[in-house]
Amino acid sequence: MAGNSEQKASQIDWAAFMPGLALDAVIFGYHNGQLKILLLEYKNTPLFALPGGFIQQDEDLNNAAKRVLHERTALSNIYLEQFYVFGDLSRHNASQLKQIIVANGHFIDDSHWLLQRFISVGYYALIDFTKAIPTPDAISDSCQWFDITNLPPVMLEDHQEIIRKALETLQTDLDRKLIGFNLLPETFTMGDLQGLYETILGKPLLRPAFQRKMLSLGILERIAKKQTGMAHKAPYLYKFIGG
């Protein structure tokens, strides 16, 4: 849950949103052999949080998620999946929310639904790190990539748990569906792809087996014969062919 409007809180038409309901997005990217996610840093607080937002009364839930993703990354056509709804009472932390609002110089009545208990739909997204343009929202100082193994210690509400569950879902989805390619640029080497799998699954894989398995799926097309530069045999470039 995070502010999703570019306006000041006092100008927001809260009635345009569904009360008590939010969505949080765990946006994965892959760079330099690290799996990363996007986090916002709230103004004047030491709090980090997942990008999120509210659902407009006249908006499909999944479209609200797409909108949030576009606002934070400037990307469209993103791979996006619901993975869990977080609806425990214990995740509610009114004082933390109030701290954020106050730190932004706004006031809100204690009875407002924004300070009450929330139910939040968790989404995870896979994007091409090189194409995203991280963009903070109105109540945040920054929107930055964090290595999944090195997250800030203090996070909003249960966002640590949401991230954990998102990663768990990504790990089990990775070899059931063919989604890994969404984290890479259009063209990539087999080494890139293997590194991605190893990073997500957290274990080394054998190169010959990995190569054969990927090629046997028939979803990779070998593009250029060679790449440039290094002190060893140049790898082939591949691209994903939807299929």
Q: Least separation, in Å, of the C-beta of 20 and a copy of itself?
A: 5
Binding-site partner at residue 229 among a copy of itself, DNA, none, CB < 5 to 8 Å by type: DNA
d(CA 40, CA 156): 10
Please say whether the beta carbons of 147 and 34 come within 8 A: yes
**CA–CA distance, 145 with 91 (Å, rounded to integer):** 24
> Rounded to the nearest 10 degrees, how much is the dihedral formed by the CA atoms of 160, 162, 168, 174?
-120
Q: Is residue 1 involved in binding a copy of itself (CB under 8 A)? A: no
Which run of H or of E encompasses 230?
Answer: none
Chain positions 138 to 157 lying near a copy of itself, rule: CB under 8 A, are none
Rg of the chain in Å (alpha carbons): 20
CB under 5 to 8 A by kind: which of DNA, a copy of itself, none does 207 bind?
Answer: DNA
Dihedral pair phi/psi, residue 55, rounded to 5°:
-105, 125
Interface pick for a copy of itself out of 67, 70, 106, 117 (rule CB under 8 A): 117
Q: Does 235 bind DNA (CB under 7 A)?
A: yes
* Binder of a copy of itself out of 41, 43, 62, 174 (CB under 8 A): 62
Q: Which of 66, 55, 64 is nearest to 27 (CA)?
A: 66
Tally Cβ neighbours within 10 Å of residue 64: 23
Task: Point out which span in 77-85, 137-145, 155-163, 233-241 binds a copy of itself (CB under 8 A).
Answer: 77-85
**First vs last C-alpha separation in the chain:** 35
Whole-number Å distance between alpha carbons of 1 and 16: 16
Give the angle 104-50-45 at the CA atoms, nearest 5°.
Answer: 30
Interaction of residue 209 with DNA, rule CB under 7 A: yes
Stretch that binds a copy of itself, among 14-22, 66-74, 191-199, 211-219 (CB under 8 A): 14-22
User: Among the candidate windows 117-125, 146-154, 158-166, 217-225, which touches a copy of itself by CB under 8 A?
Assistant: 117-125
Q: Which residue number, 92 or 106, has a Cβ lying nearer to a copy of itself?
A: 92
59 is a contact residue toward a copy of itself (CB under 8 A): yes
Q: Closest distance between DNA and the C-beta of residue 128, in Å?
A: 20
Q: Is 230 in the site for DNA (CB under 7 A)?
A: yes
Could you say which of a copy of itself, DNA, none residue 80 binds, taking C-beta under 5 to 8 angstroms by partner kind?
Answer: none
Interface residue list for DNA (CB under 7 A): 189-191, 206-209, 211-213, 215-216, 226, 229-236
